Chain A
Amino acid sequence: MSEFHDDYPHYETMSNHDEAYGKKARRTLWNVFWIMLAITIFELIIGSMAPGHGWTGTLWLKVLFIGLTVVKAAAIVLWFMHLGHEVKFFKYIILLPYITFILYAVFIILVEGVYSGYPRNVTRVDQIFIDQQKELKSHSAQGGGDAHATEAAHGEEHH
């Protein structure tokens, strides 16, 4: 390739650096790692405490988890993938189309989700399905006796 483009810059070697710079870079990377680990452990602790405290499904918990996830994602993209060090234009050409798409997807899922949640928009089939699932759930929760009887009965049918 080089015989055709003698004065073409060698981008492959441009991010090479010496040991002094490498030492600083490694310290940054390890710091990013410890922060991400701390966030993950915090998430797991909150996640395991949630059912006991009745936090499951609350809005603030969802916002907290998604917010922390976005922080972790940003850390991966900006430091681990070095996008923070790239030329400004390159950053934008990667991030802007994607962020636009995701914002649109979040918008559309909220609109459609709210729409499909209205009672008049729940179809007859949906309702039958949900009722069936609820009934199964309550039966299973009632305990083993009933369920085992059903299993035994079914087993006999087959033999």
Chain B
Amino acid sequence: MAHVAEFDAKAAWDGGQSPFRVSYGKMMMWFFLVSDALTFGGLLVSYGFIRHKYAEVWPKAENVFTHFPFIEQHLPLAYVGLMTFILIMSSVTMVLAVEAGHRMDRRGVTVWMFWTIVGGAMFVGSQAWEWYHFIVGTHVGGPEGHGGALRNVWDPATSTYVKQVYHGATMAVNEYGVPQFANYFFFITGFHGFHVFSGVIINLTIFLNVLKGTYEKRGHYEMIEKVGLYWHFVDLVWVFVFTFFYLL
């Protein structure tokens, strides 16, 4: 933006002002996001290692995520594509709310924040739906009634593993392939989904403040920018989760 060009970076280090030209809150949001990104980076790297190790027995995402709401057809990856679209879309509405805040346009902020919350809620709902189908597996609503796969299931009566047709997924066993697949799916998409859920709650809080006129009184809408950073970060993580879980 315009102010950066006039900014004397050298003199700024002499004190009395922020050499980064940002407020404390915004800087700390960035630092938090870096640390959170390190967590997700670690999780995805560990996922990549295990996946590589069991490459020959790892299930293919297009054989696992084939459902679409209200359509009883084999549609691989269609729903996750829609989820990705919803999240990118809500990222755009968020950035438009930030932009409206920079113009002190209270109505604009209200409208765009509202759509961001709607998009976020839709995404969380979609993820719950996808988890449901992943956990329940093929014997509910599966195409042409096929279902299940032979798995080693622990039998407490004999204290041995017995071969059994298994539907759906738990942490210990799943019908799609190696148990690690479900473990990483639950952990990483769950961790991300929890971030989205928190984001929706935070956005809702800020939205109520906008309605109350808190930021109008304060004289600036920087709070929208700060929660916007968090919301974009959630989108950013999803871009990677989408690639590593569903595409590769």
Contact = CB atoms under 8 A, between A and B. Distances in A.
Nearest to B226: A12
A10 B219 CA distance: 11
A87 B95 contact: no
Contacts of A37: 85, 88
Interface residues of B, number: 80
Contacts, number: 205
B246 interface: yes
Contacts of A89: 9, 19-20
Contacts of A33: 88-89, 92
Consensus secondary structure, chain A interface: helix
A137 B95 contact: no
Contact of A98 (B34, B232, B235): B34
B248 A76 contact: no
Which of B41, B95, B236 has its CB near the most chain A CB atoms (within 10 A)?
B95
B91 A76 contact: yes
Interface in A44-92: 44, 47-48, 50-51, 56-57, 61-62, 65-66, 68-69, 72-73, 76-77, 79-82, 85-90
B162 A44 contact: no
B246 A47 contact: yes
Consensus secondary structure, chain B interface: helix
B52 A16 contact: no
B62 A109 contact: no
Interface of A: 7-19, 21-22, 25-26, 29-30, 33, 36-37, 40-41, 43-44, 47-48, 50-51, 56-57, 61-62, 65-66, 68-69, 72-73, 76-77, 79-82, 85-90, 93-94, 97-98, 101-102, 105-106, 108-109, 112-113, 116-117, 126, 129-130, 132-134, 136-137, 139-140, 144, 147-148, 150-151, 154
